[in-house]
Amino acid sequence: MYSEVISASKVFWTSTLQENIRWMAPELLVGWDNRSSARPSEQSDIYSFGGIMLLVSTNKVPYYYHRAEVTIIRCIARSETSSRARYPELPEKYWAFMERCWSTNPRDRPSTEEVDITIRNEFDSLSRSEMNPVAYGDNLPPQAALRDLSKYISKAEDHPVARGGFADIWKCTYVDRILAQVAVKVLQVCADDQFGPAKMKKTKRIMHELRISANLNHANIVPIYGYTYGFGPFPAIVSRWAERGNLSDYLKREGAALTLLRKFRILRDIIAGLQYLHAKSVIHGDLTGPNVLIYADGTACVADFGLSLMYSEVISASQASWTSTFNGNVRWMAPELLEEREDGTPVRPSKQSDVFSFGGIMLQVFTNQIPYYYLRYNHMIVLHIAKSETPSRTRYPELPEKYWPFIEQCWSTDPRDRPSTDEADVTIRNEFDSLSRTS
């Protein structure tokens, strides 16, 4: 706008940049002499953001070693970005991303969505490693450093705060230089499994799963801090405490007041977490309302990934079908998980069955009603699922019609017809961005 109002003459906008030339994308210098320069774009903004990253990371402006504006212009015109050697204090891991932002071809630069994900993931990783007690209420070991935290953990209450099909949840305190709230998940087990070789085998299985979980690092995945003893025969899982509870309870309390934009933010968080798991070849296996946690800032995080599979191997000495452990979570279950393979073993959860469950999550978030809320008993729900009868559209009149077809796609009887998490992520983010612009 400034270039259009500064004078009555046709002053091209680049003449107003002055000192801001240091952050300018090279394509904006095209036509400098003939005054037909390109207009700023989303891509040129990303180029400038690369310079902002450099400034914040090093406390030095781009091209700080050049004083003359004409010298800086010459560097930009030649696509010579700031010299790596001039910023030795910059961590190498960040330089590569800045170079992407500075790509000569604007189409090769990341989108703002990609930048947002990259920055948020690194921020969350650093937050967990530093464990800022003000922001997160934690002061625990870095996530990947799976440790026995028994000497730091004590129960905050006399009884579990929640009971699920797999485990009891205890609210506990972690005391080591600072007081912090944590959640301790205690697996329910049979008496026969508490002694001898069976206990050793199952403990090994639990620790294997915990090590996998502890090395997953994403803003929308519940971090695993370690394990603790003193809650039963097996190690209990220590994770971040969710101040606003699980998704199902959160929607009961606050669902009626949530805007559509806020609901899409929740869905955006959930699908981002699930997409990350699938990219790491991790199947959740039990994606439900109770297995999504809401933190104080409203961020939704996926929890208990892989627990249903592990639990089916740990719950008892018998080879129990993992579906027997679902209990109330059957409402989100894909129909193929009720079947058996030719060798008599149950069908295992898959990426496609996780997407089916995400369809149920979408229905719940939009309507504040769980799937099949009108069916009281699990055996009735199982009968509907076995017949591929998804929740009835007429039972959810509050659901906007435009979202029903995508939910139905997630519920396709043939798993191959369901969208991938990448496709679901694009769909959710596009609608979220559209709502953000109109709100």
Q: How far apart are CA 275 and CA 278, in angstroms?
A: 5
Q: How far apart are CA 271 and CA 72, in angstroms?
A: 43
Tell me where in the chain the CATH 1.10.510.10 domain(s) lie: 2-104, 245-439
| Long-range contacts of residues 40-45, Cβ cutoff 8 Å, at least 24 apart | 40/13, 41/106, 42/111, 42/112, 43/106, 43/107, 43/109, 44/106, 45/112
Q: How far apart are CA 242 and CA 295, in angstroms?
A: 5
The CATH architecture to which 2-104 belongs is Orthogonal Bundle (1.10)
Report CA-CA distances (Å) from 144 to 127, 216, 218, 225. 13, 8, 12, 8
- 354: nearest Cα among 290, 421, 403: 421
The pTM of this model reads 0.67
**pLDDT 10s per residue in the chain (439 long)?**
544 444 444 444 444 444 588 998 988 876 444 444 568 999 999 999 999 999 999 999 999 998 877 788 878 877 889 999 999 988 888 898 999 999 999 999 999 888 888 888 788 667 654 433 333 333 445 555 678 899 999 998 888 998 866 788 999 998 876 678 999 998 876 655 556 677 777 788 788 888 888 888 999 999 888 999 988 888 899 999 999 999 999 999 999 999 999 999 999 999 999 999 999 989 999 999 999 999 999 999 999 876 656 665 655 433 344 444 455 589 999 999 888 777 777 788 999 999 999 999 999 999 999 999 999 988 899 899 988 899 999 999 999 999 999 999 999 999 999 999 999 999 999 999 999 988 7
Q: Work out whether strand 236-240 and strand 179-187 pair parallel, antiparallel, or are unpaired.
A: antiparallel
Q: How far apart are CA 346 and CA 340, in angstroms?
A: 4
Tell me where in the chain the CATH 3.30.200.20 domain(s) lie: 111-241
CATH of domain 111-241: 3.30.200.20
What fold does the segment set 245-439 form as a domain? Transferase(Phosphotransferase); domain 1 (1.10.510)
- 348: nearest Cα among 364, 334, 363, 368: 334
Residue type, 414: D
